[in-house]
Amino acid sequence: PGYGGSAPLEPTKPDARDYAAALAGFLDTLGVDSCHLVGHSLGALIACAFTQRWPERVKSLMIADPATGYGTADPAVRAERMAARLDMLDRLGPEGMANERSGVLLSETAPEDARRRVRDVMARIRPDGYRQAVAMLFGGDIHADARRISLPVRVVCGGDDTVTPPAGCEKIAASFPNAQFEILPGLGHASYVEGPDAFNAALADHLSARG
């Protein structure tokens, strides 16, 4: 919601549960009762919130390069970092932000087609949708949701991810009662864009293990 051609959510400052409810509605519209759920980055917060609320609808869960959220951070630190993100958007606009920040989502050795794809997607960000996503990030706490999810989970992370580094992703995996952790060597934060073969191999293995 709030990205691409999708309308923003109703709440001005939604949390992951609001996005999870939108996902539930989307699946209802498609007639999908249950699914294998994959969440990347901010999508990991949504996927975990969805699984916590509707565990019977999730056949398996895999999260990649997961965002932790700032829900438990010091309020002053949280406010400062949130303001910095929004100020960058106001100052540069989506295209300028893409030119300045898209490279952070990839490793130094990422191919040019991956760089172009990430840059193009970031340049099309809708400011209203981005602001809502930032609100979700700064109110989120993936560790709290993870502790309440009982099904087996696969957590993967690019080995060269500087946005959500492997050490932090491994801590997230440890918060689940039952999780496997895997590093995808040489990949940055947008691991599925930069290394689709490695990402798909990890996903295929996960799906095979879950039947």
> Tens digits of per-residue pLDDT, 54-112?
999 999 999 999 999 999 999 999 999 999 999 999 999 999 999 999 999 999 999 99
pTM of the predicted protein model: 0.95
Please report, for residues 12, 37, 43, 56, 121, the alpha-carbon distance to residue 29 in angstroms, rounded to integers and kept in the order given: 24, 17, 20, 17, 26
| Tens digits of residue pLDDT in 157-179 | 999 999 999 999 999 999 999 99
| Tens digits of residue pLDDT in 122-132 | 999 999 999 99
Average pLDDT value for residue range 136-160:
96
Average pLDDT value for residue range 1-30:
94
Q: According to the model, what pLDDT value does residue 4 have?
A: 87
Contacts of 109-115 spanning 24+ positions with Cβ under 8 A: 109/186, 110/188, 110/194, 111/194, 114/190, 114/193, 114/194
